[in-house]
Structures are given as C-alpha cells and as structure tokens.
Structure 1
Amino acid sequence: MSTALQPQITKAGLAAIWNATSTGLQAEISHIGLGSAGYTPNADQKTLRSQVVKYPISGGEKLSSTLIHLTAVADDSAAFWVREVGFFLSDGTLLAVWSHATEALTYKSANTELLLAYDLSLEALPADSVTITSNPAGLNLTLAEPLASQATVMITEMLRGVQQKDANESQEKRLQVAGLQIADLLTRVKQCELQQEYQRTESLIAIAANAAAVIKLQNLVVTTSGSLK
C-alpha cells in the first residue's frame, strides 16, 4: 500500500528543476532518504536534519503530470522511527522534504526487507518536469505485493479446479460402482427367470407324463374288463 505525501519543495530543488527544464531536460529523482528528526520542513533545507539511511529508487511510475509513485527497498541493519523523508535528484540535490513535528511515518526494523512506497505530489512544480531514475536491483520486492496477489488468485483457482476434479472422479467412481451393482442385479434377475422357466418346463413335463400314465392305466383297465366278459 502506498503512503501519500505532500512534501515541501526546496529552493535548491526548484533551482535544479529550472536548470533542467531550461535546457529541455527533466530533473531525475534517484534516491529516498529517511531520518529520525520530526519538525516542520522549510524551503531553505538542503539536507535532512537527522538522516539515517538513503536508498536508491527501485521502481516508480507517473500517475499524472504532478503525481508520481516511488518505491525503494530498505534492507539494512538500521532501526529507527521514520519521522522525515527526503527525495533526492540524481545530482544529490534535495528536491523535497516531508516531516511532522509530532507524528512518525513508520518504524524501520533492522535486517528486515521493507518496501517503501510513496505517492509524491509535486503540484508546486511545472507539469512533467520530473522523471524517475530507478535501480532494478529492488524490482523483485517492488513487485512482490502484486505478484503475491496474482499468485493467490491462481492458486485459489487451481485448488478449486483440483477439488472439482476430485469431486468429479469421486462421482464417477460412485457411478461405476452403481453400474456394477445394477449389472449384477440384472444377472441375478435373468438367472431367476431362467430357473423359473426351467422349473415351469419340468412341471409341464411331469404333468404330461402323469396324464399319459393315467390314460394308459385307464386303457388297460378297459381292456381287461372286456376280456373278462
């Protein structure tokens, strides 16, 4: 997340801007300085009152003709409350200063990578009079937040896809088991039908045999009776 700052433009910074624009060039912001003194900045400043560290710009972009986004990577052993911020041109001139008499901007921890991100308003300067000189060495950390957000979205989508795939595979397995059970049931029904058909045939054969035996017996009785007469 960026911190919006409305800094005090210094007279030295204005002079450097004038010298650059008069020759058709743009002044280049190249470094961010951090200090521990809290006060109300003034235009006569040429340095921070209590500068502790100074970092090269690692990235940035122009948001408008008078608003620029700057980032820098703080990764050294210094530890202090940041109460003043200076923006330096490539020739070392202090272009602008931010500070507050009673409030700290943030805390800089020792040996912890900290991404400094500032939206710098330059409404007091001519439009498009300042550009950014960046050092790509800190680019990876500068991009960490957006890349992490993109990675989170991608991982979430991948996880959702895996879960859906697992659900589909589980459903497919259940359908396969159900299909096998239905096939087994149909086989049993067919076997029962065949068994019933066989028993029915056997019963008909037995009935027919019994009927034939009865008829034969009746014929025998009739024949015997005729002989006796």
Structure 2
Amino acid sequence: MTTPATYSAVVWTKQGLAKLLSASQQGLDLPITHVSAGSEAYTPSDTQTSLRQQQQIVPIGGAEELDNNQLRFSALFDGELTYDVKEIGIWSEQTLVAVYSIPNQQLNHKAANAAWVEMFTLDVSALPTQNIHFEVGVNNANIFMAEELANLTHAQLLQGKNLIQQAHSNMLIEDRLRKAGF
C-alpha cells in the first residue's frame, strides 16, 4: 500500500522576511541568489540561519515569474559530492531566506560526478513580490547541456550527409537504368 505524498510549505525565515521588509521600505529589491541542498530531514524553523547539514550551495541557474503569486527558478547541483537531499535552502546573498524540508522524507539524491538540475516553484502570495528578483549565476542548465546539444547537432549533420549521398546514388542508378532502356 502506498502512502499519499506529504505536502509541506516553504518556511520563510525571520531574517529573510526582515531583509525583504527592509529592502521594500527603502524601495530596493531582495535578490534571490543561491540555492543550497542538505542531508537532514526535519521540520524547518523560521529562526534558522543555515541548513542543518548543508552539503552544497549553487547559484540560481534561471528564473521566471509565472504570475503575481509564483516564481520559478532552477539550480544545477554537480560535482563529486554524493548525498541524500532532505533539505533545501533559498538564499539572498549570505542570508537564508527560506527553508524546505519534511521530517523523515528524502527529496532527491545527488550522485557523485553527476549533475542534478532542479526546478523550484515558490509561492510568494504573502510577500511583496515586486521587491523580489533573481540574480542568475553562471551555473545554469543551458551551459550544462552544451556538450549534449553539440553531439546532437553533429549526429543530425551526419544523418543529413548520409541522406544526400543516398539520394545521389539513387539518381546515378536511375540515370544508368534510363540509358539502358528500362
């Protein structure tokens, strides 16, 4: 028997909300700059200043506003580390803004020498979203896929070349058959 998925909302930290409020009052934006992953599952607290067992922190790889209440962004976790992902942190420079974790739940797994690209959708309906923006770093999925896209392009060019050679051979055979009276 399977159990239904457990839903748990992102917990906004007090320091993150204070930074957002301060920026909003000054007419500034709160930059979301990084995402971190850790290996401890628990119920997050709004007083947290870091993840409990942070394993890796990476820059935002891409971002978009879905509507007035939701923001979507991505992050690429790669490298030699291997760990079970059980907690996620959202950062504004050096400030932990939000935490996501579910007690006794594994969210994902980061394997050694493998890349894990994660898309996050963040509900910001309770926040002044006009004062939130993303600072996209260089570690994005488009760069990650460059080698695969180059290989795909190369394979398509080879296929095109082979089709042209085959069509040329067919044309020569038809010409010889026509000359032979067939």
Q: Do the aligned partners of residues 36 and 18 (structure 1) sit closer, same or farther apart at CA in structure 2, a change above 3 Å counting? A: same
**Which one of 74, 77, 80 corresponds to residue 74 of structure 1?**
77
Aligned match of 2:18: 15
1:70-110 CA distances to partner (integer Å, 9 max, x unpaired)?
A: 233323332210100000112x2211111011221111122
- 1:43 counterpart SS class: coil
Q: Do the aligned partners of residues 142 and 96 (structure 1) sit closer, same or farther apart at CA in structure 2, a change above 3 Å counting? A: farther
- Alignment of 1:101 with 2:100, yes or no, is no
- 1:128 counterpart SS class: helix
Distance, in Å, in 2 between the alignment partners of 1:51 and 1:82 is 9
CA contact (8 A) 1:71 1:142 kept: no
Distance, in Å, in 2 between the alignment partners of 1:151 and 1:65 is 39
Aligned residue identity for 1:116: E
TM-score (norm 1): 0.64
More helix by share: 1
More strand by share: 2
Q: Do the aligned partners of residues 179 and 160 (structure 1) sit closer, same or farther apart at CA in structure 2, a change above 3 Å counting? A: same
- 1:124 counterpart SS class: coil
**Which one of 29, 37, 40 corresponds to residue 37 of structure 1?**
40
Q: Within 5 Å, give how 1:120-159 maps onto structure 2.
A: 120-136=122-138, 138-139=139-140, 141-145=141-145, 148=148, 152=152, 158=157
- The structure showing larger relative contact order (alpha-carbon pairs under 8 Å, at least 6 residues apart) is 2
Q: Do the aligned partners of residues 32 and 164 (structure 1) sit closer, same or farther apart at CA in structure 2, a change above 3 Å counting? A: same
Please list every run of 5 or more consecutive structure 1 residues that lacks an aligned counterpart in the other structure: 186-229
Q: Do the aligned partners of residues 157 and 56 (structure 1) sit closer, same or farther apart at CA in structure 2, a change above 3 Å counting? A: closer
- 2:34 counterpart SS class: strand
CA contact (8 A) 1:82 1:108 kept: yes
Q: How many residues align?
A: 175
1:53-81 CA distances to partner (integer Å, 9 max, x unpaired)?
A: 22222332333333223233323332210
Q: CA deviation at 1:158?
A: 4.6
Q: CA deviation at 1:41?
A: 1.8
Aligned residue identity for 2:119: A
TM-score (norm 2): 0.78
Aligned match of 1:59: 62
Q: Which has the larger radius of gyration?
A: 1
Aligned residue identity for 1:27: L
- 1:14 counterpart SS class: helix
Please list every run of 5 or more consecutive structure 2 residues that lacks an aligned counterpart in the other structure: 1-7
